[in-house]
Amino acid sequence: MDTPLPAASSDDRLWGAVAHLSALTGYFTAVGWIAGPLIIWLWKRDTSAFAGEEGKEALNFNISITIYAIISVVLCLTIVWLLVFHLVLYLIGCFHVICVIVAGLKAYQGRPFRYPLNLRLVK
């Protein structure tokens, strides 16, 4: 069981929200959805428990989404006749955007957010 985090300051909440929302830069750059949360997590993990935890959660989620998308692309390329995987890839993108926005809003409110379907790879 995780220990509860102390109340987050407004600066901590802002950086927690930025850690989540920085993943949206991945739609404009090739590495943004991993690099943004990774940078915030590495920068804030020692100085802010809240921003560090939110950054780690965002990083894990974006690594998970990348894995799911790669699997879907591989299946799209190998099973071309099955258009279901194209729909799955589109739904993964929609799921990603919605979850990131909700997580950013929750973090800005000072409430920790745990993504669904998240592989916790970074401890």
The average pLDDT across 14-37 equals: 89
With b meaning 16 or more CB within 10 Å and e meaning fewer, what string describes 14-23? Answer: ebbbbbbbbb
Phi then psi dihedrals of residue 120, to 5 deg = -85, 80
HEC string of the chain equals CCCCCCCCCHHHHHHHHHHHHHHHHHHCCCCHHHHHHHHHHHHHCCCCHHHHHHHHHHHHHHHHHHHHHHHHHHHHHHCCCCCHHHHHHHHHHHHHHHHHHHHHHHHHCCCCCCCCCCCCCCC
Percent of the chain whose predicted confidence (pLDDT) is above 70? 90
Nearest to 59 by CA among 71, 45, 47, 70: 45
Q: With CA atoms as reference, report the closest residue to 86 among 106, 107, 72.
A: 72
pLDDT in tens, 65-106: 999 888 888 877 776 656 777 788 889 889 999 999 999 999
Of 1-5, 31-35, 42-46, 71-75, the poorest mean pLDDT is in 1-5
pLDDT at residue 8 is higher than 90 = no
